[in-house]
Amino acid sequence: MNLTKTPPLGLAHFTAIDVPPLELVSLAARAGYAAIGLRLYPAFPGAPFYEIRAGSAASREMQQRLRGEGVRVYDIEFVTLSKDFVPASLTPVLDAASALGAQRLSVCGDDPDHARMVTTFAGLCDLAATFGMGVDLECMAWRRVSSFPQAVQVATEAGRPNGGVLVDALHLSRTGATPDDVRRTPAHLIRSAQLCDAVAERPSSDEAIIREARSGRLPPGRGALPLCDLLAALPDETVLSVEVPMDGSVPAEPHVRNVFTATQALFAACRSSTNGG
């Protein structure tokens, strides 16, 4: 990715999940973000999410707020593709997302049957295409699709033009992949990347990895992950967002501002490094 020009930055909803969508739009605009992601589906049982049905007053109000603040919805989260998942069950969520202008849906894979996983992913891509959206598969150490190469394999075998993989800086590191693995991946499979940072040492168990992913991430540039190398490995067209869930130590607005400022400083440091500064 060429950082000669500072890329626009999105704010993943998980960074401030307790902030309702309408407030998130205004908060993102005040902090300098160009886009947001929305949690319109529970990531796991009991996880917070927000329902904004297509055609509802809430949807119309959200669209008006987005236009007024000059912020767009880039993606929605977060769906687990288990062995029992049926793509058609997601139709109302995709309809709601499309009404807000969302372009991508983020999913993870948790089906032990690889062939069925590919079929499910392909079917979801086909359904999403009818709403003008694509689907990004994210690897997680504790899921069946537990590595970046596995995610690439599923997306490749599915063979859908709107299918791809989500590059999450933390999950990439914790599943043993490197920026070189990203660089070797066909560019058309990488549309989206989520930035954060973390300590160098990998947690010793799946439970600890989950805790880190949900409450132990650091703002970009404040840890030890090779983020400049990762940014250099990403295709130029990759849409960037930040996902750094709050730890409760500060309110939402200072938190998202801090994450934004840290990411801008990271971009500047990466540019300086590339230019030999």
Q: What confidence score (pLDDT) does residue 93 get?
A: 97
Q: What confidence score (pLDDT) does residue 45 get?
A: 83
Structure tokens that stand for 44 in this block: 């796991």
Which residue carries 């400022």 as its tokens? 261
Q: What confidence score (pLDDT) does residue 274 get?
A: 78
| 61 φ/ψ sector (left φ>0, alpha ψ -120 to 50, else beta) | alpha
Q: What confidence score (pLDDT) does residue 266 get?
A: 98
The runs of H, that is alpha helices, within the chain are 21-31, 57-69, 91-99, 114-129, 148-158, 169-174, 179-183, 206-215, 227-233, 252-274
Q: What confidence score (pLDDT) does residue 248 get?
A: 82
Q: What confidence score (pLDDT) does residue 44 get?
A: 79
Query: How far is Cα 127 from Cα 133, in angstroms, rounded to an integer?
Result: 9
* Total-model pTM: 0.96
| DSSP SS3 for 129 | helix
Q: What confidence score (pLDDT) does residue 275 get?
A: 73
Q: Residues 126-144: pLDDT tens digits?
A: 999 999 999 999 999 999 9
CATH class of 9-274: alpha beta
Burial of 170 (0-12, 13-18, 19+ CB in 10 A): buried
Q: What confidence score (pLDDT) does residue 276 get?
A: 63
* 19-24 CB contacts, 8 Å cutoff, 24+ apart: 19/252, 20/50, 21/50, 21/52, 21/62, 22/61, 22/62, 22/65
Q: Residues 169-178: pLDDT tens digits?
A: 999 999 999 9
pLDDT-flagged residues of the chain (< 50): none
